[in-house]
Chain A
């Protein structure tokens, strides 16, 4: 089994970062996703657009393993991860953020990022206190810097502003050598200044880290992505460069004319 995993990882070196083949998800009679095919190269930055209820977050939940697809398969750097548990996928370099911040309200910023690093490294069960010299602590320093949270390291997460919590969301996804990140509406509820900050943070990510970003704000989405997929009613209906998508009349009808918000 272990050798199989290793072998599939080796094969995966030249493969796509993420490959979805006919992925579908049903909730009883409701079809939330159907026939999703997606190929995303390593380091590629992709935006997924679509009106509310188009299935974007369901797509993320299926990729991270919050629930398994009812049909189709998911490959991550060549390895089939369709039935893996969430934490197994994360340890292979997949990360995500949430539309509504999912944070540890009673921990500090530093401790949160420390845990995010620890989750994908050894000594998760350590009964010793983390030392300040711990490499994970050093990571917490540099990541909090990368998401512009230098001054808040020792603050309790519950006391942070909404914008800072959104930044911490991103920090948790950056800890511990991610290879691919799913950003679920990182700009939700941010002020214009904070949005500029966010674009800066995303564009400053190391080039080898690819991501998919779900974003309602086209200004943000089109400035941080190279390629755009449009979703509607649980299906992908068109893909293209930001310019092509912006000028596609169908997109304007469905997305901008429809339930935008």
Chain B
């Protein structure tokens, strides 16, 4: 990661203006997102804007694990789904099963808390493995959860799942209306994005990146590597859980289909297309994938739209293994390219070293 603290340019933090602290790109992006509802139709506001932000958040939880921690998970949609099921069970639903009708300010924190614990549990199982095996074991967990929810009627209401999940009305606003829902998603996504960006340079953020670079050395300077990895999963679970609540309000329902293998892979595709080097990557990827999923049908027909998505995925991965972020770095004609080269050589060295030892 290039965003490391205390590099000479950033050192006198107190001397910088707020514009420098935030970064011009962030301010422009923020302004655009804030006035987006004035330009967009309800469809673009919710189906593209809101949905991209929700998917982006789930992918962000994957980026946190994969980008900083080197742990690629296919179970992030499962974590989001856990939060969704809590909302369905403890809130109100139309399916006539459970639906305890608790107030939103109880079941929303509960949903996020349970999702984060589910995430920590999955992590606790997965951190025993590395690389491709982490992907496999999280895929296995995701698949098992999918089949379990499909066959369990007592708790998850089986195949049909839960319908009629409504966002709450607070302050006289129905939060699933296009504009409020968009701003709600924007606020949550911004919060998660800022937290990850800040946290990347925190003590724990450095720890996680150091564990990714060299777990053996981290043990040899006194770190309990397993505990730190599980903690990263718990944090990722908070983000995925919050996104899961938004997801069921967006869909109005949750069923095993929400957490099936297809959606699970979708999250990974989003993260890869966007890029794993910076927390903005998952959101870029989410916008691209959402647009493609929405409009590929018009271009190529309902039969083949997944083929188009697949081709675009192949193309991006082929041109730039670091997704859209990598493309940006490659074609930006600036000093930033030097950092980029250093980063690439550095990662290559890590790879070579790994092979030698």
* Interface mask (A119-162 → B, CB under 8 Å = 1, otherwise 0): 11001111111101000000000000000000000101011000
Name A68-117 residues within 8 Å CB distance of B. 85-87, 90-91, 95-96, 98, 100, 102-108, 110-112, 114-116
Contact A115 B210 (CB under 8 A): yes
B218 close to chain A: CB less than 8 A: yes
A33 close to chain B: CB less than 8 A: no
Among A103, A111, A156, A175, which residue has its beta carbon within 8 angstroms of that of B217? A103
Name A26-74 residues within 8 Å CB distance of B. 64, 66
A10: shortest Cβ distance to chain B, in Å? 22
Chain A residues contacting B17 (CB-CB under 8 Å) are none
- Of the stretches B3-11, B49-57, B165-173, the one at the interface is B3-11
* A108 with B223, Cβ < 8 A, contacts A100-B356, A102-B216, A156-B346 known: no
B357: shortest Cβ distance to chain A, in Å? 6
A186 close to chain B: CB less than 8 A: no
Contact B220 A86 (CB under 8 A): yes
Per the bound structure, the CA–CA distance linking A71 and B31 in Å amounts to 66
Per the bound structure, the CA–CA distance linking A172 and B214 in Å amounts to 13
Contact B214 A103 (CB under 8 A): yes
Contact A124 B223 (CB under 8 A): yes
Per the bound structure, the CA–CA distance linking A99 and B193 in Å amounts to 40
B16 close to chain A: CB less than 8 A: no
B287: shortest Cβ distance to chain A, in Å? 28
Chain B residues contacting A154 (CB-CB under 8 Å) are 6-8, 11
Chain A residues contacting B330 (CB-CB under 8 Å) are none
B1 close to chain A: CB less than 8 A: yes
Contact B203 A123 (CB under 8 A): yes
* A126 with B204, Cβ < 8 A, contacts A106-B1, A119-B221 known: yes
Per the bound structure, the CA–CA distance linking A86 and B220 in Å amounts to 6
* Interface mask (A192-220 → B, CB under 8 Å = 1, otherwise 0): 00000000000000000000000000000
A189: shortest Cβ distance to chain B, in Å? 13
A9 close to chain B: CB less than 8 A: no
A168: shortest Cβ distance to chain B, in Å? 11
Interface of B is mostly: helix
Chain A residues contacting B209 (CB-CB under 8 Å) are 104, 106-107
* Interface mask (B74-108 → A, CB under 8 Å = 1, otherwise 0): 00000000000000000000000000000000000
Name B287-338 residues within 8 Å CB distance of A. none
Give the number of residues in A that approach B within 8 Å (Cβ atoms).
43
A24 close to chain B: CB less than 8 A: no
A176 close to chain B: CB less than 8 A: yes
Chain A residues contacting B203 (CB-CB under 8 Å) are 118, 123-130
* A158 with B345, Cβ < 8 A, contacts A102-B217, A115-B210, A125-B204 known: yes
Contact A86 B7 (CB under 8 A): no
* A119 with B1, Cβ < 8 A, contacts A104-B214, A132-B6 known: no
* A91 with B222, Cβ < 8 A, contacts A111-B5, A158-B345 known: yes
Contact A102 B220 (CB under 8 A): yes
Per the bound structure, the CA–CA distance linking A64 and B210 in Å amounts to 20
Chain B residues contacting A175 (CB-CB under 8 Å) are 221
* A105 with B350, Cβ < 8 A, contacts A119-B223, A176-B222 known: yes
Contact A125 B6 (CB under 8 A): no
Chain B residues contacting A106 (CB-CB under 8 Å) are 1, 4, 209, 213, 343, 346-347, 350
Per the bound structure, the CA–CA distance linking A127 and B199 in Å amounts to 6
Contact A119 B199 (CB under 8 A): no
Per the bound structure, the CA–CA distance linking A111 and B213 in Å amounts to 13
A260: shortest Cβ distance to chain B, in Å? 22
Chain B residues contacting A111 (CB-CB under 8 Å) are 4-6, 206
> Which B residue's beta carbon lies closest to that of A99?
B357
Most buried by A among B203, B225, B342, B356: B203
Contact B221 A90 (CB under 8 A): yes
A164: shortest Cβ distance to chain B, in Å? 14
Contact B356 A119 (CB under 8 A): no
Contact A105 B349 (CB under 8 A): yes
Chain A residues contacting B353 (CB-CB under 8 Å) are 100
A163: shortest Cβ distance to chain B, in Å? 16
Chain B residues contacting A95 (CB-CB under 8 Å) are 220-221
Chain B residues contacting A129 (CB-CB under 8 Å) are 5, 198, 201-203
> Which B residue's beta carbon lies closest to that of A140?
B6
Contact A102 B214 (CB under 8 A): yes
B116 close to chain A: CB less than 8 A: no
Per the bound structure, the CA–CA distance linking A132 and B356 in Å amounts to 36
Contact A156 B342 (CB under 8 A): yes
Chain B residues contacting A156 (CB-CB under 8 Å) are 4, 342, 346
Per the bound structure, the CA–CA distance linking A95 and B217 in Å amounts to 11
Per the bound structure, the CA–CA distance linking A129 and B24 in Å amounts to 22
22 CB-based A-B contacts, threshold 8 Å:
A66-B216, A85-B219, A90-B220, A103-B213, A104-B209, A104-B210, A105-B213, A105-B349, A106-B4, A106-B209, A107-B4, A111-B6, A111-B206, A115-B206, A115-B218, A118-B207, A125-B204, A126-B204, A128-B202, A130-B206, A154-B6, A158-B345
Query: Which of A's residues lie within 8 Å of B, judged by CB?
Result: 64, 66, 85-87, 90-91, 95-96, 98, 100, 102-108, 110-112, 114-116, 118-120, 123-130, 132, 154, 156, 158-159, 172, 175-176
> 8 other contacts beyond A87-B222, A105-B214, with CB at 8 A cut-off?
A102-B357, A104-B217, A106-B343, A114-B206, A115-B207, A115-B210, A127-B203, A127-B204
